[in-house]
């Protein structure tokens, strides 16, 4: 029980922070510095995943609306972002390299101190969104049990014990954290089985090879629209407009809020002018109709966040994740 | 059925729009070129050219990228045959017989066979796609970890005996591949493994292409240089000729191998649909089965044209197959379709169970364009064969440095990291030594492709079952897994049975005819 309390406190803090944060957008004045060559946009994950899709989408927006330079996405998958973080660390002072990060931005340096990565050295550019998480089940289970609410879910999962399979992306990842929370909050023994990507996880559920997932809406969306899978509740502050019938965990008495950052970060020691340039660029991307439409469609939340405010947010989130990883036993 | 015909005709109307037709031809040509470059495969091609597609409407964009995907599948065979370097993992099996054929001066025969088999594979699979998309999508959906593991076992089983006669050396080669495959992050435990000297790059794992270009490209080149020096100086990489007469004779001969083509196509298509790994296991399995059903299995690996036909039919069929889960489930069946999927989202389309009903002109335009793309790809490919042969005729002293440069670029391009280049050069030396000591190379490459897939599926299955192996042979709850596993066991013991039978018959022959 203490475990659950500590986690939920941290989560609530993070959630409240996300809501109350006022934004520090860059000024509208044109920056003096301009890229002299194509800009490398490092993706902290493999091709075809959620982060990769978002980067290629932004690349498209920048190219189509002629907002800025040529953007070249470069995938540095592997090691839960360790490879990408190490790469960016080595590009010290490079004004033509930026990266798109997730929450492994906090967890990977914590879990692998050998990397020698201190995220405070990176240059904050802009948080483009926060992705959300929901609890999903199949609408046509093999055993015929039609699970419609968290109560139904708890009853079924309790009865199944460790035969209940929760599929998720990666070990000691966001999905793993949420599964641990559900297990301790409801006294369940669900078995967590890690897969390589959100798409694969969604498919395990839709094909009845897993009993539940805690996927991002964008990952489960296709099957939701086809009526194959159903969100029971979401780890958000407010109900997600796409799923008006799914309550938040807060509403049903478990104060648990968790988001995943989708943030643009610059190299350590990037010049202030370059930082300002990218700040302006991504402000324009953020405000574009296309990005707003993408956010809406993928149920992304979170205000834009830049500069010192973004750095403060990183530090706070890192502390939250440190506490969670300790509870999980992933770090000492 | 009539409805499908009408929809398909509508699709052809879309595909034959001047812009779309031009995009098909352009895509095929670009794909052919990208596929032919060692190191660059359909994944890189589609990723590099994705931004160009914002200039045209979504249907044109997917048609262009699909044509490119196809073209790259055709093109992958070219460097496999000519240089013995698989341009992509999907073309590994093509090197097994394509390269020996080229060495015997029959590169034109191998290239023609690859082009025609690709055409057969592409066309048969598109027909299958047209007729039965939705029911097959269902199979893709229920396919879980135990089924994937059974499939990988089937792929390994079809390959028994591939390494040659020295079983100890074959096992050693497989082990090297498996160890290299284990480097990097372990999905199930989330811990890094085999990160030598704490070099962070090892966390990224050892990529297939780095190994393949290293041991096949660099290693093979070193070996050839040594042989040439011993033979007394510069010669050509292989004797090669081409003429219209030869091409016609080659085409005639290919008709006789129609059974292998159909087998490779159907197998490739079915394996391609399953969201396990796309075209690579499909082409490897087709090669193995092609050998088993061949009238002359002993010549496989020494330059049997059926050894080119089977994998080439399968990898093209699989590339069509892997579009099915992408379109109907929104799940990519291969890395390339993963990028296509990202593109579709950008163009404002919603891949998933409702795409067929919501966007019929897009879906059927794509299907029709696959028929058309196949046609152009085979024509372009055969037309270019003389040019490829001409390259092979260049003096070896000129060709060798060019190939080295291509290998280095191929190792660097996909990840833009020098770490991969150094690793590749290291594998080149290892590959050279293995050749010199007569170790088979193919099993190592096979293990690095299939090993990680098999390992992950096995561990995930055992997590689900709580450690019970019975999950793989449970015909009631897991009929697909059990069926595939039984098939794998049969295939595993079939060569043994055949060998015993052959021993017995040859024993009889020997007794009547003393030597």
| Separation CA B396–CA B392 (nearest Å) | 9
Q: What tokens were used for B127?
A: 């027909």
Give the tokens for residue B123. Answer: 């066309």
Count of domains observed in chain B: 1
* pLDDT band per the 50, 70, 90 thresholds, residue B362: confident
Q: Is the dihedral of CA B248, B249, B255, B257 positive or negative?
A: negative
pLDDT tens-digit profile of B158-197? 766 555 566 778 788 888 888 988 888 777 776 778 877 7
Q: How far apart are CA A150 and CA A264, in angstroms?
A: 35
Residue B353's domain comprises 2-394+411-512
Rounded average pLDDT over A21-29? 42
Residues of B in contact with A162 (CB under 8 A): 466
Find the helix or strand (DSSP H, E) in which A40 lies: strand A39-43
Residue A138 pLDDT: 94
Q: Running DSSP on this structure, what letter comes out for residue B239?
A: -
Closest-approach residue (CA) in chain A for B353: A226
Handedness of CA B134, B135, B138, B144 (dihedral sign): negative
pLDDT at B334: 67
Judged by CB atoms closer than 8 Å, whether chains meet at A56 and B343 is answered as yes
Residue B438 lies in a domain: yes
**CA nearest neighbour of B4 among B136, B130, B135, B137:** B130
How is residue B208 written in tokens?
Answer: 């297939």
Q: Is residue B401 part of a domain?
A: no
Angstrom distance (rounded) from CA B40 to CA B48? 11
CA dist., res. B160 & res. A121, Å (int): 53
CA separation for the pair B118, B125 (Å, rounded): 10
Residue B422 lies in a domain: yes
- Provide the ipTM: 0.74
Going from the C-alpha of B107 to that of each of A76, B91, B178, B252, B286, the distances in angstroms are 38, 16, 32, 16, 21
pLDDT of residue B430: 92
User: Could you give all domains of chain A from N- to C-terminal order, each with its CATH number?
Assistant: 20-131+260-328 (3.40.190.150), 134-234 (3.40.190.10)
Residue B205 sits at the chain A interface (C-beta within 8 Å): yes
pLDDT in tens, B113-144: 999 999 999 899 888 888 877 677 777 778 88
**How many residues belong to chain A?**
332
d(CA B7, CA B362): 11
Closest CA to B315 of B503, B484, B88, B24: B88
Q: Does B51 touch chain A (CB under 8 A)?
A: yes
CA distance A138 to chain B (A): 13
Q: Report yes or no on B405 lying in a domain.
A: no
Q: Is A227 helix (H, G, I), strand (E, B) or coil?
A: coil
Sign of the four-CA dihedral B426, B429, B432, B436 = negative
Give the C-alpha separation, B486 to A182, whole Å.
Answer: 39
Q: What is the pLDDT of residue B392?
A: 74
CA B464 to chain centre: 30
pLDDT at A145 over 70: yes
**pLDDT, tens digit, 9 for 90 and up, residues B312-343:** 999 889 888 888 877 877 766 666 777 777 77
Q: Is residue B403 part of a domain?
A: no
Q: Find chain B residues with C-beta within 8 A of A163's C-beta.
A: 466
Share of chain B above pLDDT 90, in %: 7
> Which positions in chain A touch B205 (Cβ < 8 Å)?
78
CA dist A108 and A89 (Å) reads: 14
Residue B402 in domain: no
Does the distance separating the beta carbons of A114 and B198 come in below 8 Å?
yes
Would B400 be classed as within a structural domain? no
Compute the distance between CA of residue B62 and CA of residue B54 in angstroms, rounded to an integer: 11
* pLDDT of residue A17 exceeding 60: no
- From the list A82, A202, A226, the residue facing B354 with the nearest CB is A226
SS3 A1: coil
Which chain B residues are closer than 8 Å to A199 by Cβ? 330-332, 338
Q: Any idea which residue has 């690709």 for tokens?
A: B118
Cβ atoms A164, A191 nearer than 8 A:
yes
**Cα–Cα distances in Å, from A208 out to A21, A140, B323, B468?**
40, 8, 22, 19
Q: Checking DSSP bridges between strand A165-169 and strand A212-213, what pairing results, if any? A: parallel
CB < 8 Å to B187, chain A: 170-171, 194-196
Give pLDDT, residue A277.
94
Query: How deeply is B57 buried, as exposed, middle or buried, from its count of CB atoms within 10 A (0-12, 13-18, 19+)?
Result: middle
CA distance A251 to chain B (A): 31
* Chain B positions in Cβ-Cβ contact with residue A79 (cut-off 8 Å): 184-185, 192, 200, 203-204
Partner-chain contact B335 A48, CB within 8 Å: yes
Q: Does A72 touch chain B (CB under 8 A)?
A: no
Task: Give the distance from residue B452's alpha carbon to the nearest chain A alpha carbon, in angstroms.
Answer: 12
Mean pLDDT over the full length of chain A: 85
Cβ within 8 Å, pair A56-B190? no
A47 shares contact with chain B (CB less than 8 Å): yes
Cβ within 8 Å, pair A162-B466: yes
Instruction: Tell how far CA A303 is from the center of its chain.
Output: 14
State how far the Cα of B327 lies from the Cα of A218, in Å rounded to an integer.
Answer: 16
Distance between CA atoms of residues B284 and B307, nearest Å: 10
**Distance to chain B for A117, nearest Cα, Å:** 12
Which residues of B, range 80-139, sit inside 8 Å of A by Cβ?
none
């Amino acid at each position: 029980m203490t475990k659950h309390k500590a986690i939920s406190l941290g989560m609530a803090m993070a959630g409240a922070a996300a809501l109350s944060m006022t934004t520090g957008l860059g000024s509208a004045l044109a920056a003096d510095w301009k890229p002299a060559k194509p800009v490398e946009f490092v993706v902290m994950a493999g091709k075809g995943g959620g982060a990769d899709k978002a980067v290629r989408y932004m690349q498209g927006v920048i190219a189509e609306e002629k907002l800025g330079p040529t953007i070249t996405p470069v995938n540095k998958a592997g090691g839960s972002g360790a490879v990408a973080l190490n790469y960016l660390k080595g590009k010290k002072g490079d004004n033509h390299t930026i990266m798109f990060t997730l929450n492994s931005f906090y967890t990977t340096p914590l879990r692998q101190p050998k990397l020698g990565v201190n995220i405070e050295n990176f240059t904050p550019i802009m948080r483009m969104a926060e992705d959300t998480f929901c609890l999903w089940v199949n609408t046509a289970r093999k055993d015929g049990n039609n699970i419609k609410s968290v109560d139904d879910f708890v009853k079924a999962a309790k009865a199944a014990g460790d035969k209940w399979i929760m599929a998720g992306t990666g070990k000691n990842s966001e999905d793993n954290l949420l599964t641990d929370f559900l297990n301790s909050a409801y006294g369940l023994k669900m078995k967590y089985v890690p897969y390589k990507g959100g798409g694969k996880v969604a498919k395990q559920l839709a094909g009845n090879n897993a009993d539940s997932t805690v996927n991002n809406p964008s990952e489960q969306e296709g099957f939701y629209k086809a009526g194959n899978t159903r969100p029971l509740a979401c780890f958000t502050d407010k109900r997600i407009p796409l799923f008006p019938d799914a309550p938040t965990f807060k509403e049903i008495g478990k104060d648990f809020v968790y988001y995943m950052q989708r943030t643009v970060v610059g190299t350590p020691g990037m010049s202030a002018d370059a930082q300002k340039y990218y700040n302006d660029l991504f402000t324009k991307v953020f405000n574009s109709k296309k990005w707003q439409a993408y956010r809406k469609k993928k149920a992304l939340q979170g205000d834009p966040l830049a500069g010192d405010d973004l750095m403060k947010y990183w530090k706070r989130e890192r502390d939250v994740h440190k506490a969670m990883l300790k509870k999980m036993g992933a770090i000492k | 059925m009539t409805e499908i015909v009408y929809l398909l005709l509508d699709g052809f109307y879309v595909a034959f729009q001047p812009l779309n037709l031009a995009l098909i031809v352009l895509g095929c040509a670009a794909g052919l070129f990208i596929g032919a470059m060692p190191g660059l495969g359909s994944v890189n091609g589609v990723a590099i050219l994705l931004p160009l597609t914002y200039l045209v409407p979504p249907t044109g964009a997917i048609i262009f990228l699909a044509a490119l995907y196809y073209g790259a599948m055709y093109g992958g065979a070219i460097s496999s045959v000519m240089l013995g370097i698989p341009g992509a993992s999907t073309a590994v099996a093509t090197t097994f017989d394509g390269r020996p054929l080229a060495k015997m001066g029959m590169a034109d025969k191998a290239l023609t066979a690859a082009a025609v088999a690709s055409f057969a594979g592409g066309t048969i699979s598109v027909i299958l796609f047209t007729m039965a998309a939705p029911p097959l999508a269902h199979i893709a959906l229920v396919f879980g970890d135990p089924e994937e593991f059974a499939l990988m076992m089937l792929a390994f089983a079809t390959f028994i005996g591939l390494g040659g006669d020295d079983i100890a050396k074959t096992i050693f080669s497989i082990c090297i591949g498996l160890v290299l495959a284990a480097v990097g992050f372990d999905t199930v435990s989330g811990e890094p493994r085999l990160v030598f000297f704490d070099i962070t790059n090892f966390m990224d794992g050892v990529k297939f292409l780095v190994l393949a270009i290293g041991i096949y490209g660099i290693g093979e080149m070193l070996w050839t240089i040594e042989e040439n020096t011993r033979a007394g100086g510069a010669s050509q990489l292989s004797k090669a000729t081409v003429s219209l007469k030869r091409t016609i004779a080659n085409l005639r001969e290919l008709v006789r191998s129609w059974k292998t083509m159909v087998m490779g196509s159907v197998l490739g298509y079915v394996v391609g649909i399953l969201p396990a790994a796309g075209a690579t296991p499909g082409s490897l399995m087709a090669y193995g089965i092609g050998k088993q059903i061949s009238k002359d299995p002993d010549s496989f690996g020494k330059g049997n044209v059926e050894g080119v036909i089977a994998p080439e039919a399968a990898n093209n069929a699989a590339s069509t197959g892997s579009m099915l889960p992408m379109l109907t489930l929104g799940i990519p069946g291969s890395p390339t379709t993963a990028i296509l999927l990202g593109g579709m989202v950008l163009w404002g389309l919603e891949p998933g169970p409702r795409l067929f009903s919501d966007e019929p002109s897009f879906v059927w335009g794509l299907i029709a364009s696959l028929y058309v793309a196949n046609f152009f790809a085979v024509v372009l490919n055969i037309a270019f064969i003389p040019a490829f042969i001409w390259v092979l005729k260049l003096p070896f002293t000129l060709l060798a440095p060019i190939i080295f440069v291509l290998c280095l670029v191929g190792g660097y391009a996909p990840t833009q990291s020098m770490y991969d280049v150094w690793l590749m050069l290291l594998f080149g030396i290892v590959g050279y030594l293995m050749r010199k000591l007569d170790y088979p190379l193919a099993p190592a490459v096979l293990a690095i492709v299939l090993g990680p897939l098999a390992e992950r599926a096995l561990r995930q299955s055992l997590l689900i079952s709580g450690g019970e192996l019975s999950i793989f042979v449970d015909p009631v709850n897991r009929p697909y897994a059990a069926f595939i596993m039984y098939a794998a066991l049969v295939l595993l013991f079939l060569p043994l049975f055949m060998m015993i039978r052959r021993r017995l018959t040859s024993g009889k022959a020997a007794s009547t005819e003393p030597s």
